[in-house]
Structure 1
Amino acid sequence: MRTQQTRVPVSGGGSLWAERAGEGTPVVLLHGAGMDSRLWDMVFPALAGRHTVVRYDACGLGRSTPPTEPFRDVADLRAVLDHFGLDRAALVGMSLGGETALDFTVAHPDRVAALALVGSSVSGHTWPEAPDLVAYGAANRERDAGRLAELELSIWAPMGVAATGGELIATMIADNARRRVAGEHGAVHPDQDAVTLLGQVTAPTLVVHGDQDHPEIAAIAARLVAGIPGARGEVVPDADHYLPLRGPERLTDLLLAHLP
């Protein structure tokens, strides 16, 4: 598979690593917090067989540079689309990447042909004060990279390293832990929370999560399906939060059936 790798100047004063492959209607893949575009390794080639597919490392993660000033994930996504000359594209976002995709859809509805939210969060959602999530938030605020990586594995990848995709998941988390705590606190959040604007989303929307994901992700998925007009929900068996690596074949089938 021939790919084009490039760097995209963005709002945080640095640049994002990005990769493009395939021909057809465009699709952009967004990974979650503390990860990088390797999340899509098992999905990217199959999608590129039918689509122009772009994936990128978010600000400060993977092969992208750390921010030197405040940055906006939505503005960075727009910069990626503009760099590749994509006036309109389908967005596939996992976890925080899904939140960014949804925020972008609310802000720029004319640029989104379809939306797939995978184990997604949503801006404005109130998370419960569960002990695991409280500890996770504290480690993030205290910029404790080691503790944050440990909790990332136990909370969000409970199927373990021995399960499908486990070694890559552990490697991504370890590689990005220090980068994450160094850069994430510079993120500027959108002016409006998407959770209050779900009824305005007109893009065809697929909401997917794994049956082994954190219970709050299932609650968010139900909220998205109920709030976004015409949204369809799917649950993938034997997959935790890292669904693109835990259940890539099933996810790919769902995406190919949904994407224009």
Structure 2
Amino acid sequence: MPTAMIEMDDGAQLRTWTTGSPEHADIPLVFLHGGPGLPDYLGPVAALVEDLCLVHRYDQRGTGGSAWAGEHTIARHVRDLALLLDAWGHDRAVLVGHSFGTNMAGYFTLAHPERVAGSIQIAGPFLDPWRDADRAAQRARRTDEQQDRFDELEAIASRTDAEEIEYLTLAWFTDHADRARAWDWALASARALRPVNYAMNSQLNAAKRADPLESHVDELRERLPAGTVIIGGADDSRPAEALRRLGARLGCEVVLIPDAGHHPWLEAPEQFSAAFRAAVTRACLTNHRDAAKARRHRPRNHRQADCG
């Protein structure tokens, strides 16, 4: 898998991956992982469409292989994505966000609509009101003993590695609708996605609250490209109704995968793959048609006779 470190304008080095079909490089997919504060984990989702298009992924600054220390802002992360597109040589891209990555896709679209060729959002963005319903669903999925242990671990200022894995597993297993496999999935993530950048998580969540997407929905609706799709799990702890409401306000399609939670590619792989590949195919075909139309209407350059 081709990996490259790309330098930002402040010297930060971001780890990136490029896979897929170079012959379809005119309109690539760029994946925006969630967290905030986690490294990229969307390789299995990217693999579902690598035969259809060129795919870029990256660790956001301060996570995984993108070591960095400093204050995180929405504007800085939006600029990172713009600079990455420049470095990859793309004027435009189809953005694929997951969880908090869908928020980042929204902020980028508001700032640079001319660079967004398509938008496919997975399990988000969730706009208020949704948090109370999410907390209630998570609590219902934990036993009393699990909740007590979660609260105990959360109160520890400096957890050991074993305690951190247990804490993250207790935090994340409620994301999954499949109760039989939820713990194993969460445990695998807890082992693979450490260390969590908690400072990044706190700073970007605070920035999101200070300038919420909720206050920009009308503007976002105007700037989103045609064919925008939201794909969610019908049994995510975060309420599916919130995605339906947002889809109605944005005028975009919402696909809810039955019996799936916050990571629908794990719990309903066939249904998710079909919905995701269909969305990617539509985005690519729309942009290829638009590009062909633009070429047909582009004025021809007539060579001027040499009179000298």
Task: Give the TM-score normalised by the residue count of structure 2.
Answer: 0.69
User: Aligned in 2, Cα 1:154/1:140: closer, same or farther, shift over 3 Å?
Assistant: farther
Secondary structure of the corresponding residue to residue 48 of structure 1: coil
Q: What is the rounded CA distance, in whole Å, between the counterparts of 2:124 and 2:155 in structure 1?
A: 19
* Cα drift, residue 207 of structure 1: 0.9
Q: Which residue does the alignment assign to 1:69?
A: 70
Q: Percent identity?
A: 23
1:31 Cα deviation (Å)? Answer: 1.6
Q: What are the within-5 Å matches in structure 2 for residues 123-138 of structure 1?
A: 127-128=131-132, 130=135
Question: Aligned AA for 2:124?
Answer: S
Give the aligned partner of residue 273 of structure 2. Answer: 252
The one-letter amino acid of 1:189's match is A
Other structure's SS at 1:38 match: coil
- 8 Å Cα contact 1:26-1:52 kept in structure 2: yes
Q: 1:40 to 1:249 in 2, by over 3 A?
A: farther
Q: Does residue 1:115 correspond to 2:119, yes or no?
A: yes
Deviations 1:144-173 (A, max 9, x none): 64565033323213535736xx75653333
CA distance in 2, matches of 1:108, 1:123: 21
Q: Could you list the runs of 5+ residues in structure 2 that have no partner in the other structure?
A: 140-146, 285-308
Report whether the alignment pairs 1:208 with 2:208.
no
Q: Which moved more, 1:132-141 or 1:187-196?
A: 132-141
2:17 matched residue in structure 1:
19
* Residues 1:38 and 2:36 are matched in the alignment: no
Corresponding residue SS for 2:229: strand
Instruction: Give 1:164-203 correspondences, 5 Å limit.
Output: 169-187=186-204, 189=207, 192-200=211-219, 201=221, 202-203=224-225
Match of 1:222 in 2: 244
Distance 1:140 1:11 in 2: 38
Q: Which has the higher helix share?
A: 2
Residues 155 and 168 (structure 1 numbering): CA distance in 2 closer, same or farther, change over 3 Å?
closer
Query: What is the DSSP-based 3-state SS (H/G/I as helix, E as strand, rest coil) of the residue aligned with 1:199?
Result: helix
- The letter for the 2-side match of 1:36 is P
Superposed CA deviations along residues 5-30 of structure 1, whole A, max 9, x for unmatched, are: 11123478632211112231211111
What residue in structure 2 maps to residue 9 of structure 1?
A: 7
State whether structure 2 residue 87 is matched by structure 1 residue 92.
no
Aligned residue pairs, count: 252
